[in-house]
Chains A and B, each alone.
Chain A
Amino acid sequence: MEYFFEIFFDGLTRGSIYALIALGYTMVYGIIQLINFAHGEIYMIGAFTALIVSGVLGALGLPGYAILLMTLPVAVIYASAYGYTIEKIAYKPLRNAPRLSPLISAIGMSIFLQNYVLLAQTPDFLPFPSLLPPLDVVDRFHGVLSSSEVIIVVTAALVMAGLTAFIKFTRMGKAMRATAQSPRMAMLVGINVDQVISLTFIIGSALAAVGGVLIASHVGQINFYIGFLAGIKAFTAAVLGGIGSIPGAMLGGLVLGWTESFATGYVSSDYEDVFAFALLVLILIFRPAGILGKPAIQKV
């Protein structure tokens, strides 16, 4: 039974990270129906910025908690700035283009950003400082739970609760929901759609940066290529939950994380991804719009 819980918590940690990144995909998709392939790269840039900032602060001799308090906001700000800029350069000019053009532009952007970090920094793996403080309470259950896992799950839950509240109760959140339903109608009632889209990219990128910093300090290393696989998995999670739906992204991330962990734990890690994708196919066959997605009824 202990083994079961260990695997369960591993899956929960993994799933929380997937969920954080998946939120960015799902928000962008909900508003402009674009699969933002460069989103995984934002996650990577967030982690890299955090590494650089913490390196600088560490060299200045600041204590650990001060580094953590300053690193995370800077990483979030930079990731958001990148997300905002990428939207302006690669997607905004393509707003009225054929549907697949922004997708290719996104793939190009993803290749560009990877190589940008590769050239400006390094192709090697870099050790990432473990910024997350150890929790005494948790460390008593050593081996079953690690404190970084607990921090990841709790942070992810808090962030997602905050986001849900924002979307539900604020004016801007309302504007976002309106734009997601119908951009043209939203424009008619006086919503600045461009602003809403920018904000969506900013929030999505910020969440990805949080995920990046958390996971990088959990596994302790990063390089320019970490965004690729995480991005694909998060995208899978978003679709699994029903793309465009925010609770769906969270649920999708968790389901995907658990599937992978239990597949590894009880079957074989050789086929962990096969299980993940097979589950996806299966779910979509029976619920073509994902677990929580609303089936789009096409009217003529």
Chain B
Amino acid sequence: MRKISSAFAVAAAVALMGTAAQAKDIILGVPGAQSGDLASYGLPTVNAAKLVAEQYNAKGGVLGMKVKVVPQDDQCKPELATNAAFKLVSENVTVALGHICSGATKAALPIYKESKIVLMSPSATNPELTLGGGYPNFFRTIARDDAQARLAASFAMDKLGAKTIAIIHDKGDYGKGFAEWAQKVVEESKKAKVVLFEGVTPGAIDYSAAVQKVKDSGADALIFGGYHPEASKIVMAMRKKDMKIPFVSDDGVKDDTFIKVAGEFAEGVYASGPKDISGNPLHKEAVEAHKKAFNAEPGAFFDNAYSAALALLNAIEKAKSTDYDKVVKALQTEYVETPVGKIRFDKQGDAEGVGFDVYQVVKGQFVKVQ
């Protein structure tokens, strides 16, 4: 019984602390995976938010109000995402930057919608989030899965001239979504045939049998939807079995860890990823700021998160208010310069001016394919 009462005491204290947050500040909530196995996708977003907030605060804040960053961990799990969302709502968050995974975003969105809070994700790519039309409060600074899959599929058909394509995915939300869109694109174009469409179990000890099946299907190219650990196992198994067909994959594979793990086998692998922005001065500035503040290279989705934070605060400034309707209007009408380019948002919430490019691993580095 004592354990329960002390739990209640803690609960009370936490609740009080929550309500004590000042209404004078602009509170920028940053929910996302900040612990667990997907933490490496969520933590860079927190850093980006902190950097942008600092930048604004140094200039005297937004509309004279200080920007305060409040991170909340959801481990990319739907049930924890709703907890994080409720925590933010009960702390009177002004706008929120996040939910990293699409599933977690889907679970949390209604909570923000009810409370009229703008949510902008740097990384949730599921098309339904914007195309579904149910969430006028949702925005994102990353291109949708379907756009990415269309790019990868047409690349395989047109540039690589593949006539028969095998599609493998990791059964996950992101990977299977990508794979299904790619399949649709290929089938609609009638330029090539999907000869194999299958999911593999993430974490299984090897994928030899699945790779054997790809080989047997006689595909000219393999499109893989999923993350880099599975991708590197499949690529290595393919090369060890003397299969030289091109391997085309997605944003989840365009990660330096993939090259490190797959080593020499990574050579020649294609992956689509956010548009090459290395020439953008704002991007350089953001990376420099990150190196200075955290003494490390920024991680996954950093640019998207940095851009989202800029877009959100800019919208509040342009709207001259934190009022929900005015902020939404400003997001849709006012262009803003960000590391991913000059962007504004369409009626559905997708950013105009953000796109994907195809990259190839050449000598241990991702190089943009012309």
Decide whether A and B are members of one complex: yes
Report chain B residues within 8 Å CB of A41. Answer: none
Report chain B residues within 8 Å CB of A260. Answer: 209
A293 to chain B, nearest CB (A): 25
B260 touches A (CB below 8 Å) = yes
Chain B stretch 139-186: residues in CB contact (< 8 A) with chain A: 171
B339 to chain A, nearest CB (A): 25
Q: B residues bordering A, Cβ < 8 Å? A: 37, 39-40, 171, 198-201, 203-206, 208-210, 212-213, 215-216, 228-229, 232-233, 236-237, 240-242, 257, 260-263
B203 to chain A, nearest CB (A): 5
Contacting pair A143 B242 (CB below 8 A) = yes
Report chain A residues within 8 Å CB of B262. Answer: 127, 220
Report chain B residues within 8 Å CB of A127. Answer: 260-263
Minimum CB distance partner of B208 in chain A: A10
Contacting pair A221 B232 (CB below 8 A) = yes
Q: Which of A13, A124, A220, A223 contacts B208 (CB 8 A)?
A: A13
Top 3 A-B pairs, shortest CB-CB distance: A10-B208, A264-B209, A261-B209
A39 touches B (CB below 8 Å) = no
Contacting pair A125 B212 (CB below 8 A) = no
Contacting pair B203 A265 (CB below 8 A) = no
Minimum CB distance partner of A3 in chain B: B216
A187 vs B52: C-alpha distance in the bound complex, in angstroms? Answer: 70
The interface residues of chain B, by DSSP majority, are classed as helix
Report chain B residues within 8 Å CB of A136. Answer: none
A11 vs B206: C-alpha distance in the bound complex, in angstroms? Answer: 10
Contacting pair A215 B206 (CB below 8 A) = yes
Q: A residues bordering B, Cβ < 8 Å? A: 3, 6-7, 10-11, 13-14, 17, 123-127, 142-143, 146, 149, 215, 218-221, 223, 225-226, 228-230, 233, 260-261, 264-265, 268-270, 272-273
A292 to chain B, nearest CB (A): 24
Minimum CB distance partner of B203 in chain A: A229
A3 vs B216: C-alpha distance in the bound complex, in angstroms? Answer: 7
A252 to chain B, nearest CB (A): 16
Minimum CB distance partner of B228 in chain A: A125
Q: Which of A146, A219, A269 contacts B198 (CB 8 A)?
A: A269
Report chain B residues within 8 Å CB of A230. Answer: 205
Known A-B contacts A123-B40, A127-B263, A264-B213; A218 and B201 likewise in contact (beta carbons under 8 Å): no
Contacting pair B212 A220 (CB below 8 A) = no
Minimum CB distance partner of B198 in chain A: A269
Report chain A residues within 8 Å CB of B212. Answer: 3, 6-7, 10, 265
Q: Which of A6, A7, A14, A220 contacts B236 (CB 8 A)?
A: A220
Contacting pair B198 A124 (CB below 8 A) = no
Report chain A residues within 8 Å CB of B200. Answer: 269
Task: Identify 10 new A-B residue pairs, CB closer than 8 A, beyond the known A125-B257, A260-B209.
Answer: A3-B212, A13-B208, A14-B205, A127-B263, A219-B236, A226-B205, A229-B203, A233-B205, A264-B213, A269-B198
Known A-B contacts A142-B242, A269-B210, A270-B198; A225 and B236 likewise in contact (beta carbons under 8 Å): no
Contacting pair A269 B261 (CB below 8 A) = no
Minimum CB distance partner of B227 in chain A: A125
Known A-B contacts A125-B229, A146-B240, A269-B198; A13 and B257 likewise in contact (beta carbons under 8 Å): no
A143 vs B242: C-alpha distance in the bound complex, in angstroms? Answer: 6
Contacting pair A269 B201 (CB below 8 A) = yes
A219 vs B205: C-alpha distance in the bound complex, in angstroms? Answer: 8
Report chain A residues within 8 Å CB of B263. Answer: 127, 220
Minimum CB distance partner of A18 in chain B: B205
A265 vs B200: C-alpha distance in the bound complex, in angstroms? Answer: 12
Contacting pair A269 B209 (CB below 8 A) = yes
